[in-house]
A = this chain, B = another copy of it.
Amino acid sequence: MAYDFSLVSSKMKSSKIRELMKYASMPGVISFAGGMPDPDNFPFDDVKSIINNWDVKSSKIAMQYGTTNGYGALVEDIIKRMTTVKHINPEGQGVVVTTGGQQGLYLVAKIFLDPGDVILVEDPTFIGGMASFLSCQAQVVGVSLEDDGVNVDELETTFLSLKKAGKNVKFFYTIPNFQNPKGSTMSLGKRKKLYELSKKHNLVIIEDDPYGDLFYTGTSEDYLPVKSLGNDAPIIYIGSFSKVLSPGFRLGWIYADDIIIDKAALAKQSIDACSSSFGQVIASDYLKLGKIDDYLTKMRAVYSKKKNVMMEMITQYFPESVKVTNAKGGFFIYAKLPDGISGNALFLRTIKENVAFVTGEPFHTDPVTGDQHIRLSFSNSSDDEIKKGIKIIGDTITAMIKEM
């Protein structure tokens, strides 16, 4: 049957990651592809015990529709955590609970973007963010991402020249902590500079922080959000429970000026009415019982160990001409391949040996630069898989260099 789809839908294509994930999820494949939490350490026993302890009132709330903004108790818990752990001033700020961090990104796209509007992103950046912005027909402009975060001077220059050219620049999208895919972390100096730039030009910042609690060096104070620097700049913080509880509940949140929260909640009404009440009551109990802090302590050690195993193997088996970011947290190591080695070509060879990863191409605004990179996720694999898989990738790169 022939259908007359919308313009956006006609142009929509399956993302590279999605196509590659088909290989990655095949039985027997060692996959460093998805940004998925460690399946062996989900806090399922805590979740089960929380549910088994619900009284009638809690179970009724969990099974019923909730308000679009989110379950009141959870909203309070989130604000409390944003205040005490992330040092964000709650004055004039509010929360809308979202269906995963991904919906937070979609909602900001929906409330800000008209077709042709420009947004600025770190280059490379998260594919899911780009997908949301592109689905609202934005024009995406990249700004160089360095090892200590985005080049803030370049950001300002780019912003000003776009404005001068009459473009409607709606926001800058950043992942300051353990960036996806690069693994880089924005320095405090750059955070301050970015805050001032946002304030000076009234440039909205979308601060995406799904990994901020998963640091493997330093303390929480070393990774405070840009938004913690004050409420005089228009900064919209997006959080997620996917990496610190479970992605299976689809829960995240937007924390921003009340006016943004009102708009986002209005948009959410027509998108899914409300997020899972069942998940929200679990998340609220989980926070109240302090389970999250115990879990984070445990998981920092688990992921840190996995990352160290991967880094050791990279040191041992990758040629020196491969440059990698040693991430201070999060799930990813990003590798720049030697000149002349294509990430896609590498993938096509390692997948024959049942090893998968994501090629850099879809993360970059320039596909040629992108193809010089690969993203390796260590979060979802056992030590043995990491050892076996990284050796195969390293050996393949070495072979490809020899063949050049």
Which residues does A use to contact B, with CB under 8 Å?
1-9, 12-15, 18, 34, 36-37, 39, 42, 44, 47-48, 51-52, 59-66, 68, 99-100, 102-103, 105-106, 110-114, 117, 128, 131-132, 134-136, 168, 170, 202, 204, 234, 242, 246-250, 257, 259-260, 263, 266-267, 269-279
CA distance A391 to B34 in the complex (A): 59
CA distance A136 to B270 in the complex (A): 10
- Sample of 5 more A-B contacts, CB < 8 Å, known A3-B259, A63-B248: A1-B257, A6-B117, A62-B248, A128-B273, A250-B272
Contacts of A246 in B (CB 8 A): 63-64, 278
Given contacts A271-B102, A273-B100, contact A278 B248 (CB under 8 A): yes
Contacts of A5 in B (CB 8 A): 111-112, 263
A99 and B99 contacting across the interface, CB-CB below 8 Å = yes
Shortest Cβ gap from A379 to chain B (Å): 11
CA distance A117 to B8 in the complex (A): 14
Shortest Cβ gap from A404 to chain B (Å): 36
Contacts of A103 in B (CB 8 A): 271-272
Contacts of A242 in B (CB 8 A): 65
CA distance A44 to B114 in the complex (A): 43
* Beta-carbon nearest neighbor of A105 in chain B: B270
CA distance A250 to B103 in the complex (A): 14
Given contacts A42-B60, A42-B64, contact A274 B250 (CB under 8 A): yes
Contacts of A106 in B (CB 8 A): 270-272
* Beta-carbon nearest neighbor of A251 in chain B: B276
A110 and B278 contacting across the interface, CB-CB below 8 Å = no
Given contacts A9-B266, A12-B266, A48-B52, contact A272 B4 (CB under 8 A): no
A263 and B36 contacting across the interface, CB-CB below 8 Å = no
Contacts of A117 in B (CB 8 A): 6
Given contacts A3-B204, A6-B110, A204-B3, contact A44 B59 (CB under 8 A): yes
A266 and B132 contacting across the interface, CB-CB below 8 Å = no
Contacts of A102 in B (CB 8 A): 270-273
* Beta-carbon nearest neighbor of A380 in chain B: B64
* Beta-carbon nearest neighbor of A36 in chain B: B65
Given contacts A65-B34, A248-B276, A278-B246, contact A1 B263 (CB under 8 A): no
Shortest Cβ gap from A138 to chain B (Å): 10
Partner of A269 from the list B112, B131, B273 (CB cut-off 8 Å) is: B131
Partner of A267 from the list B12, B42, B66 (CB cut-off 8 Å) is: B12
B9 and A267 contacting across the interface, CB-CB below 8 Å = yes
Q: Can you list 7 A-B contacts (CB < 8 A)?
A: A4-B168, A7-B114, A42-B64, A106-B271, A135-B270, A247-B277, A250-B272
Contacts of A272 in B (CB 8 A): 99-100, 102-103, 106, 250, 272
Shortest Cβ gap from A155 to chain B (Å): 18
CA distance A132 to B110 in the complex (A): 12
Partner of A6 from the list B3, B113, B202 (CB cut-off 8 Å) is: B113
